Amino acid sequence: MSEPVKLTDASAYESFLDKYDTFLIDCDGVIWHGNNVLPNLREALSLNIEIHDGEIFGSAYASAYYIKNVLKFPKEKKVYVVGDVGIIEELESEGIRYAGANEDSNFDTSNWDFANIKQDPEVGAVLCGFDIHVNYLKYAKAFTYLNSNPECLFFLTNDDPTFPANGTIYPGGGAIAAPLITALGRKPDGIFGKPNKPMLDCIIQHLNLNPERTCMIGDRLDTDILFGINGGLGTLFVLTGVNKEQDILAMDARIIPDYYMASLGDISVLDK
């Protein structure tokens, strides 16, 4: 396996750019941390880079798009959601009916009774994602749908164990889904976020991309970079997030990008 090329000067940067027409850029850890844009990125983002509606693909969007347009989920069925408002908005945008989410966020334990867990016969799938309001009621309902109906589909928006914020890391969507996976003893039928292929299938279908002329830019090796490798894309790894330079240069490194650089913000320096 060849060593990655480090972009440190204008010549290397220009050679890199000549190879690609399209760039898929992870945001958290590459462009910002939490609500803060990373150093040098303010100048880089002033380079007349245009971003249009329909060019931002999150795992929630990929989930809704794939369920509707690829899986052809029946219109008479609902998706039970363990997740926050972002997932609901994406399902609504695709015209997919749903249950759960906010309606099960207010969990009154003082009146708890297992007999209160009622099944909606229209639910045909469970979609689990990041949920800051996750509770036992949501887990119990999701488990019941999946455990009692072998035909009920089980999806994750993503399986990231953690995500970076405020200079550290916190449990991610994969950690939210772990109790369900453990209780069911069953793997999900589909995982839509990186590094899994369904998200790339959605992007390629939506934008009609040529994978050979497309580069994935990210800060996390086991999601962003592996996503690019799995999809036959070029890959650029930046050192502003979860993984560091030693993770790709070590003798036992398993995931190797094509290129890497200290920060995407360095583009503004190399471009001069």
Single out the residue of 70, 55, 39 nearest to residue 189, CA to CA: 70
Catalytic residue among 21, 108, 131, 271: 21
Of 190, 74, 73, 81, residue with least CA distance to 145? 81
Q: Which of 151, 162, 105 shows the shortest CA–CA distance to 126?
A: 151
Annotated active-site residue 21? The verdict is: yes
Rounded to a whole number of angstroms, the distance between the first and last alpha carbons of the chain is 32
Residue 259 host element (H or E)? strand 259-261
136-148 helix and 173-184 helix, angle to the nearest 10 degrees: 50
Instruction: Report whether 194 belongs to an annotated binding site.
Output: yes
Q: Is 120 annotated as a binding residue?
A: no
How far apart, in Å, are the Cα atoms of 194 and each of 83, 95, 139? 18, 24, 24
| Gap between the Cα atoms of 159 and 6, Å rounded | 29
Annotated binding site for Mg(2+): 219
* Binding site as annotated, residues for substrate: 194
Q: Which residues are catalytic?
A: 21
